[in-house]
Structure 1
Amino acid sequence: MAYQEVNISDLQPGSYVVQVLQQSGDIVVKHAGWVRTRQAIEILRKKGVKVVLIDPEKAITTAPATPPAEPIAPAEDFAPRVLFADEWPRAEKTLLQTQRVQRQMLDAVRSDNHIDLTLVHEVSAGLAESISRNQDVLLCLNRIAEQSDSLLQHSISCAVYMAAFARYLNLPSHKVQSLITAALLHDIGKAISPDYLQMADHLAIPASLNALQKTAKLAGEVSLWISQHCAHLDGSGVPKIAARQIEKGSRMLAIVNAYEKLTASLAPKLGPLAASRQLLERTPHQLDAELLQLFIKCIGIYPPGSVVKLSSGKLALVLENNAKKPLLPKVKVFYHSVHQHHIPPKILDLSRQQEEQIDSCVDLKKFGLDVKNYI
């Protein structure tokens, strides 16, 4: 059953709220959760919540006699990290749903039809939820996914990176959702003509904004971030505006967009480490230095899904970041590049041993291997 938009005045006890769609103020609320009593709904109303997105399938039909009267709380208060293996099937389902919806969005623009924002909200919420449970899983899945449609792949990858980035910055849930939406839609105008795919990004912004103008209930900040994501802090980008005029969301989108273009799985130009170094060279004149440093910390020096060569010559798939020791993530070894043969797969936490270190990132295709066979 599809998610439903509900005004706060129509919200019923027992509803499962996926996200807050409209609210006044800057209130941090949980990305998902049940509202069990009318008192809880009233608290949300007093905090400025106006419209929410609910999942009818998760509704509680019979509320307990004396449930706690509390509002939706910040996710980090009670959301422990889900194990990598447990999150994998859920993240895989979320990514497949996002791919289906994004195809529909691109097809709608190609046919000059309206974009169904309800579907966009639904997949944005799904991405945010998966990231909150264990961001490494979705980052890994997205990196190894390959689509023949480069525009589709780029927009989804940007959305996944943005979901992780926004949550890492501990932004309010409604802001996280809007940023994911902006990442999904920032190049939507390129679907109008394949010529746009060969042009500089800023040339397609008017087409993207024109397509979004036909869409009802799109937050104005989403269009603003999209319109500014090719601006540079020194005023040399497009539009030519001063740094103080460039919104934080626009700066984040610029970083995510640039990083994905350098590391895209369809035709990677640079490995993750080299891409990060190149982007750092663009600070502080073009990109926000502080935000870029935080983004790199968020996704890792060797993002999940990357393939690395260890000091022994063994190849390994990066599974999980290590926030305290970013050069020593958890990996899965599977092949020996020197002896050119497969080895028994083994999970290795590089931070818990001294024998192996990462030597470099590698393109597995150069060895005639497909990373999907080693998940």
Structure 2
Amino acid sequence: MTSPKTDIRTIEIDALKKGMYVVSITSQSGKTSVAQSGRITQAEQVKLLKRKGVKVVSVDWSRSVFEDDSSQPKTTEINSASSKVKKLSGESEKLAAKKLFNEAKSLQTKFFRQLQQGEPIDIEPMERAAEGLIDSLENQSGAMLCLAKIRAKDKYLMEHSLNVGMLLAYFGRSLDMNKAVQKQLLMGGMLHDIGKINTPDEILHKPGKLTDDEFVIMREHVVHSHNILKAQEGISKIMLEIASNHHERLDGLGYPNKLKGEQLSSYTRMANIVDCYDALTADRVYKSGMPPTAAFRILLSGVGTQFDKVLIEKFIRCMGVYPVGTLVKLKSKKLGVVVERNELKPLQPIIKLVFNVATNTHTEVKLIDLSKYSHEEIEGAVSPRDYGISLDRFLAE
């Protein structure tokens, strides 16, 4: 006999009812540990969860038991109710994701400041933040990746580090790595460039090409990162490895230790790819980031020398032909920003229409699923700066 198909739905705590089978806590404030599996049998359980700061939960609908006049739940009533819950929880999750992202940014700023002043850091708040971000990446990956694309050009160091962490966790999930490893990847990314706090600002923020002597000083940030993190409690082997080795290369021409081939673990190889991709696509004070498709071409050109071929291919597949945050031009001469991937139809993501090239005007922002619009087709990725468009406000909505 086949078991019923799992049907996981994410709902707000206020929508949690008797009979629902909670499988996980999706969003929670506070430090209290909460059991993450079981059926709600009395209203007091919901009140307890609220008191402990639980905001959003994931419910297995197939294991939930609903009380009504018959022995089985009425399908029409459940379907109607679930559609309302899903709509409500979707907006709730986006708000929760945004809050988590901003809290992680604040926490990271605090850690960088503490370490710069020679103070030890308490890694536990970062662990909790990482767990929340990973859950949001699983349930609201589009929203989280949109947030990651919003950049303050004068805060490159910290935003780059947070985005590398998120992309590493997202990449790890696509490779079926468990959540414990995803957490280490995310935290490792958040701290991988911490050694740059010891790099002189005139070198760190120099708009032009570094001299040979300046480049020697810049490369020392990896050694600084290793030494700073090695002295902190709670830093895992994976986190330390990402910080120490993300500039090593397969051909042994990287730094600081010229490791090569089998000396580079899968985590190091992943960090090498993600760090380079985020650096290429990021806007800075002195330069604009390139479209993801152009960054992919550069990554592919480094296959076999700098990057692992299999992992590069899997990373591009994970990010999608048109990653979230990409500005695309349609054959109808309209421009849209990708806000959600379509894994089954990668050439037909969900986009926000924002601009009409034919009339050179901004349009009413409209969300469309290209898989449902046969007359709309992507011509290619374009650069926002070519059209004087700032994508931040469209990604934040």
- Normalising by structure 2, what TM-score? 0.72
User: Is contact 1:196-1:204 (8 Å) kept?
Assistant: no
Q: Which moved more, 1:231-240 or 1:245-254?
A: 231-240
User: Is contact 2:97-2:140 (8 Å) kept?
Assistant: no
Amino acid at match of 1:155: S
Amino acid at match of 1:175: V
Amino acid at match of 2:243: I
**Aligned equivalents of 2:184, 2:52: Cα separation in 1:** 22
1:211 to 2:259 alignment:
no
Aligned residue for 2:379, secondary structure, equals strand
Amino acid at match of 2:311: L
User: Is contact 2:252-2:260 (8 Å) kept?
Assistant: yes
Amino acid at match of 1:184: M
Amino acid at match of 1:297: R
User: Is contact 2:189-2:242 (8 Å) kept?
Assistant: no
Q: Which structure 2 residues correspond to residues 292-331 of structure 1 after superposition, within 5 A?
A: 292-331=312-351
Tell me the CA shift for residue 330 of structure 1: 1.0
1:252 to 2:252 alignment:
no
* RCO comparison, higher one (Cα < 8 Å, 6+): 1
- Correspondence for 1:162: 168
Aligned residue for 2:250, secondary structure, equals coil
Aligned residue for 1:230, secondary structure, equals coil
- Correspondence for 1:91: 97
- Correspondence for 2:389: 369
Q: Which structure 2 residues correspond to residues 252-291 of structure 1 after superposition, within 5 A?
A: 252-266=270-284, 267-291=287-311
- Correspondence for 1:143: 149
Q: Which structure 2 residues correspond to residues 179-194 of structure 1 after superposition, within 5 A?
A: 179-193=185-199, 194=201
For the pair shown, the structure with the greater C-alpha radius of gyration is 2
Q: Which structure 2 residues correspond to residues 1-375 of structure 1 after superposition, within 5 A?
A: 34=36, 57-58=53-54, 85-146=91-152, 148-193=154-199, 194=201, 195-196=203-204, 202-238=219-255, 239-266=257-284, 267-374=287-394, 375=397
Q: For each residue in 1:272-300, what CA deviation from the matched residue of structure 2 results, as whole angstroms up to 9, or x when unmatched?
A: 00100110110022101111111111122
Note closer, same or farther for the CA distance 1:33–1:356 as it changes in structure 2 (3 Å cut): farther
Tell me the CA shift for residue 249 of structure 1: 0.6
Amino acid at match of 2:95: P
**Aligned equivalents of 1:85, 1:130: Cα separation in 2:** 13
Aligned residue for 2:171, secondary structure, equals helix
Two-structure CA RMSD over aligned residues (Å) = 3.0
Aligned residue for 2:220, secondary structure, equals helix
User: Is contact 1:196-1:203 (8 Å) kept?
Assistant: no
Note closer, same or farther for the CA distance 1:247–1:291 as it changes in structure 2 (3 Å cut): same
Q: For each residue in 1:64-94, what CA deviation from the matched residue of structure 2 results, as whole angstroms up to 9, or x when unmatched?
A: xxxxxxxxxxxxxxxxx99764432111111
Q: How many correspondences in the alignment?
A: 314
What runs of 5+ residues in structure 1 fail to find an aligned partner?
A: 1-13, 19-31, 37-54, 60-80
- Normalising by structure 1, what TM-score? 0.76
Amino acid at match of 2:175: L
**Aligned equivalents of 1:89, 1:299: Cα separation in 2:** 23
Identity of aligned residues (%): 28
Aligned residue for 1:254, secondary structure, equals helix
User: Is contact 2:332-2:376 (8 Å) kept?
Assistant: yes
Amino acid at match of 1:285: T
Q: For each residue in 1:342-367, what CA deviation from the matched residue of structure 2 results, as whole angstroms up to 9, or x when unmatched?
A: 32322222223332222232333443
Amino acid at match of 1:368: G
What runs of 5+ residues in structure 2 fail to find an aligned partner?
A: 1-21, 27-33, 39-50, 56-85, 207-213
Q: Which moved more, 1:207-216 or 1:272-281?
A: 207-216
**Aligned equivalents of 1:218, 1:99: Cα separation in 2:** 19
Q: For each residue in 1:251-271, what CA deviation from the matched residue of structure 2 results, as whole angstroms up to 9, or x when unmatched?
A: 111111000000003343421
